[in-house]
Amino acid sequence: MPPATPSRSESGERTGPLAPGMGPARCPNCGERQNVAQGEFDPAREPFGPLNCMVCGHAFTRREFVAGLAPEERRSRR
């Protein structure tokens, strides 16, 4: 499957899947690992986000994002 290309939201911000090597995180609401970020997502930036589940629309908190990463990704985020 070819990599998804970013698109634009109604406000003109770039939207799309996370950058390579950054997730995806498992959604605490539906369990899927399909995340979409708006703008230039940086998990270290304050305030966190926006990062949503592409399936159910859940808005992740930083804690949910880190908890939803695979164990090897969590270690690299500490």
| CA separation for the pair 19, 38 (Å, rounded) | 12
CB neighbour burial string for 27-43, b if at least 16 within 10 angstroms, e if fewer: beeeeeebbbbbeebeb
27-70 pLDDT per residue, tens: 999 999 999 988 778 888 888 988 999 999 999 999 999 999 97
Cβ atoms of 15 and 6 within 8 Å: the answer is: yes
Higher confidence at residue 20 or residue 66? Answer: 66
Cα separation values, 39 from 11, 71, 72, Å: 10, 26, 26
